[in-house]
Structure 1
């Protein structure tokens, strides 16, 4: 358990910045003081502004034992304070305004100077007042997409902002009606979940087999490395999540059709296509990347170009109409899974879309063979990442955030809001699997569990030997 001592540094900083008013010898004192200010002197007046009167009300759960770790809803608090039970202290802050002061956080093994942000604290209560069960230091497992730079219609999440997310990177992209993501290909594999709207996707593989399909919110597509493809938004525009199997991936590393033409000698292009050099006089003088084009025809057959090789076989389809798959209902919400068992072309991408009702939680689990890259679609939640041997950090999430949980590191995701929490878990695995803490304990001989954890027979007799996936909240 860590003890937090909050000390405002404002009275220290301001005299250094503005001089010591009590020793002004002229109407406008110089830049520096004099030797009389050094060390102790009986003539020195000690003191200054009195500590401000801090007015606040503790939120429900804040007086509990810190190890209980109840969620503290600071969004509705007028002046949230870093207090849990007997630990922590009130925080004066500079004029109780937008920013918390610097403070000193004392841990068992280190002392830190921290600069806080008042508004950030309100939506990240588990950072301001961590549960007593948090300990040590894990990786940073939370990043809001909104803090990433918006660049050409996309927001990217990779190792630049989450250095430990080495297996996967993500992009949230929006196309206006008739907007294109221009013809391109990648070195990395591209897995996508459509978040809203609809679009037409098209591709050609190395055998010359062609593919075209319309996908809508909730559907998934996948393009293997090196397969050229394009995306065009339909009438209502489209927003989609892209996940790549390389944590260092950047959309800037995409191979674009415009760039290929711009950086190949026109004489070579002429010879390659069997046309006059003048045919390339009007090619764009820069990449298009994302641009608005001619709206796609309603009849998709008009764009169904085929070669002698024919169409890509259905079993190797680049799209999967995940939106039409019914969700598996459980006590606390629902789960539905798409992985290579049903979507074979996505050879190492496995995902689950999870819905958690208010008060419920994705049960405590871990993935034995893969890191988990999580995108929060809507709602509010929190998760505690546990890393062996004894490090644990609790993070708060909301729609648009990314979470990252390394292989075999246990975690849960709890709905802390008033509406459904929806997120997608993405693994680099040939099948979606997890280990559930509840199933493990329930499937272990009771004597072993009792000897280890001192749990009562009543509790052990009520454990469920099947996975719960999403646990319902209590009626309280």
Structure 2
């Protein structure tokens, strides 16, 4: 296997984009991961009492999954749409491009969030930097205050993480249902087998999604994600737990096979055939983001049912009698049982 696959990069183990005693931010954009298109990924770690300052994305909707900890999300969207909600492990939140929002660790343990953005080169503004761009007089006029009210504001560069003074203030409305919050962990898996399952954060179940979605995919040691491709959907995955292997075919015939471990991210361009399997009996858990609100795929298993045996025999260059007895498959299962021993690891 190659030492560095074009399809894989370390997210958690690489040099952080920002780090302090309040936490860290890791990110993979096209600059560090050139194969990316339409998607990028961040890992946000917040220590207790840490706040990710209010900011907004310029060119990308955002979809995030809370791996651990408890965070408060406050947001102001288009047309004065205010919202605040608490997000716990296994839950997700969505932020529209241009909506100003903040994250705050309101628990006693470290919070970890994995967020995908719908651009390979995301841009953002911070609230502090945007305020600094205006004079004290302009700010005073905005808030009906004298210019002197803003003289104490520092005019330096914004810090991505800041410290909250005192206890967290959680609005009374934070417990109400919110269209930007989705309890993926509490979902009954639409696809569940003895050897794996998939929970689906897509538009069918979460109406807020417009151009992005996510699957929480668990593959047991006795299962395998069948070889498949996504006709109009790119795939950006993050390994949360376990040790796995992927194989990807490129249009020029290049075959790339690589192992995946926790903290790594991978990217599969649209329509590239690929498959996933766990390399240990404990299985593997992925967070898989897509650049469509309702991702679709074509699997190898159903493909064998799409053509006659005569066509398949001619295509593979074997007599029809030598063809396996492919099971009739009108709907791909997504995850299949691993009946054969794993191929050896190089």
Structure 1 counterpart of 2:66:
194
Counterparts of 1:331-346 in structure 2 under 5 Å?
331-346=194-209
| Kept after mapping to 2: 8 A contact 1:200/1:212 | yes
Q: CA deviation at 1:432?
A: 2.0
Q: Distance in 2 between matches of 1:461 and 1:470?
A: 16
Change (3 A) 1:166 1:412: same
Give 5+ residue unaligned stretches, structure 1: 1-125, 129-137, 305-310
**TM-score normalised per structure 2:** 0.88
Query: What RMSD, in angstroms, separates the aligned Cα atoms of the two structures?
Result: 2.3
| Kept after mapping to 1: 8 A contact 2:71/2:105 | yes
Structure 1 counterpart of 2:188:
326
| Kept after mapping to 2: 8 A contact 1:361/1:413 | yes
Counterparts of 1:150-229 in structure 2 under 5 Å?
150=16, 151-152=18-19, 153-187=24-58, 188-229=60-101
Counterparts of 1:136-155 in structure 2 under 5 Å?
140-150=6-16, 151-152=18-19, 153-155=24-26
Q: CA deviation at 1:466?
A: 3.0
Moved more, 460-469 or 237-246: 460-469
Change (3 A) 1:288 1:144: closer
Instruction: Answer 1 or 2: which has greater helix percent.
Output: 1
Q: Secondary structure at the match of 1:324?
A: coil
Q: Distance in 1 between matches of 2:5 and 2:37?
A: 12
Q: Distance in 2 between matches of 1:171 and 1:458?
A: 46
Q: Distance in 2 between matches of 1:442 and 1:331?
A: 24
Deviations 1:252-275 (A, max 9, x none): x42111112222110110111111
Structure with higher RCO (Cα < 8 A, 6+ apart): 2
Among 283, 288, 305, the alignment partner of 1:425 is 288
Q: Distance in 2 between matches of 1:351 and 1:456?
A: 42
Among 118, 121, 127, the alignment partner of 2:2 is 127
Q: Distance in 2 between matches of 1:465 and 1:332?
A: 21
| Kept after mapping to 1: 8 A contact 2:85/2:174 | no
Change (3 A) 1:420 1:410: same
Structure 1 counterpart of 2:130:
260
Q: Distance in 1 between matches of 2:199 and 2:80?
A: 33
Q: Distance in 2 between matches of 1:284 and 1:155?
A: 26
Q: Distance in 1 between matches of 2:210 and 2:48?
A: 31
Among 205, 213, 225, the alignment partner of 1:350 is 213
Among 103, 110, 117, the alignment partner of 1:244 is 117
Q: Distance in 1 between matches of 2:237 and 2:66?
A: 15
Q: CA deviation at 1:164?
A: 1.5
Q: CA deviation at 1:387?
A: 1.3
Q: Distance in 1 between matches of 2:326 and 2:182?
A: 42
| Kept after mapping to 2: 8 A contact 1:359/1:416 | no
Q: Secondary structure at the match of 1:323?
A: coil
Counterparts of 1:256-405 in structure 2 under 5 Å?
256-286=126-156, 287-293=158-164, 294-297=166-169, 300-301=171-172, 314=178, 317-327=179-189, 328-405=191-268
